[in-house]
Amino acid sequence: MTASAPSVAAYLRVAEGGEAALVIANLGAEPASGVTLSAEAGSLEPGAYRARNLLGGPDAADLEVGADGGFSGWVAYPELGPRQGHVLALEGS
Instruction: Report the CATH number at residue 84.
Output: 2.60.40.1180
Q: How many domains does the chain have?
A: 1
3-state secondary structure of 32: strand
What per-residue confidence (pLDDT) applies to 17? 83
Cα(88)–Cα(23) distance, rounded to whole angstroms?
6
Give the pLDDT confidence of 48-89 residue by residue, as tens digits: 999 999 999 999 999 999 999 999 999 999 999 999 999 999
Mean pLDDT of the chain: 96
Domain range spanning residue 15?
2-92
